Structure 1
């Protein structure tokens, strides 16, 4: 029994030591993406509770410069594949972003909900917009970031690992993009 207790303590101590370095290594990431994974910086996404497979793909794309944004390309350039997995798994453990205190204008929210159904956002991002696997969490993402990203998919200046979003966005108008972002940032 005593041996079991010693082993348990060692496992806890080891896991604490392993958790500490990633928290320290992630400090530069969280300087922009928010201490708890909720960004307060314009056009910078919140990454708390993000799907690990999605984060892994994005970090890989930044490292390989398949997705270009100089600060991220620079930060990811020396990451090993194990580093990419470690950071992706870490981001998933951060708390999910909270919706703003202001719930959103009811008529506008209802109208935008219809848009999410029309464009079938929930077929990939799930009914709660939390994403799954390699499909990102978009619930309670920054509104400005959502507008920017959706516009980039529409004008084909943002390339994903497949063309799904670019295809979906072709029939979405700019006013609809604004409404979708408004809704997704506030969804409860």
Structure 2
């Protein structure tokens, strides 16, 4: 009964969350799309984006594959989603002093190039505890698939989760459940409210081994 009520509440909230996320595209988003439609220009943007990401490698790893357990991969992320997160950090809508300082030095064109560069990289699946995967798949299918997609690759509005590190996934999901993180998202808090710690571990292990 509780799960049904939470799902119903999530449905009511999703329209407002979607509306907030789906605000009219900016000039940078328009530029992102135009580059994506031109293979030659896209290739040039990806090459330029790689050069612009030298400052990201210390935390997010070479080619956007994080070497630090609690730092997310950027590789394989949807470019429109990633560009919006870059904008939010630059505008102070997402709080991280270090990230804000780095992003503010990027010009709009460089931000677009960085988003396309990371989106172009394939993410290798990580090693998982295979005993956790079936339960994680079951929970993901019930709670997460509607927004993050069947393959957990996200879209313009929701992030890619496939291939992320287990510690990062566990801490992120736990913060949404406990509402202790800097980022607040009512839909995520509702979706994760009934999860036990072992459920979160199972979901994280399922997601980390996905390509």
Is TM more than 0.5 here? yes
Match of 1:7 in 2: none
TM-score (norm 2): 0.71
Across the two proteins, how many residue pairs are aligned to each other?
172
Asked whether the 8 Å contact 1:149–1:158 carries over to 2, the reply is no
Q: Please show how residues 97-176 of structure 1 align to structure 2 within 5 Å.
A: 97-100=123-126, 102=127, 104-105=129-130, 107-119=131-143, 121-156=144-179, 157-159=181-183, 163-176=186-199
User: SS where residue 137 of structure 1 aligns?
Assistant: coil
Shift in Å at residue 24 of structure 1?
A: 1.7
Q: Does 1:42 align with 2:69?
A: yes
Higher RCO structure, 1 or 2 (CA under 8 Å, sep 6+): 2
**For the residues of structure 1 that align with 2:189 and 2:115, how far apart are their CA atoms?**
24
**Contact 2:50-2:114 at 8 Å conserved across structures:** no
C-alpha deviation, 1:93, in angstroms? 1.1
Alpha-carbon shift at residue 48 of structure 1 (Å): 0.8
**Correspondence for 1:91:** 118
Alpha-carbon spacing, 1:19–1:53, altered in 2? closer, same or farther (3 Å):
closer
TM-score by length of 1: 0.79
Change in CA separation of 1:108 and 1:46 when aligned onto 2, cut-off 3 Å? same
Match of 1:74 in 2: 101
Q: Tell me how far 1:15 sits from its aligned partner.
A: 7.6
Q: Where do residues 13-28 of structure 1 align in structure 2 (5 Å cutoff)? A: 19-28=46-55
Runs of 4+ deviating beyond 6 Å: 14-17
CA gap 1:27/1:115 in 2 versus in 1, 3 angstroms: same
The unaligned stretches of length 5 or more in structure 2 are: 1-38
Deviation per CA, 1:128-155: give whole Å up to 9, x if none. 1111222111111111111111122223
Bigger Rg, which one: 1
List runs of 5+ in structure 1 lacking aligned partners.
1-10
Relative to structure 1, the CA distance from residue 118 to residue 86 in structure 2 (aligned partners, 3 Å threshold; closer, same or farther) is same
Residues 186 and 19 of structure 1: CA distance in aligned 2, closer, same or farther (over 3 Å): closer
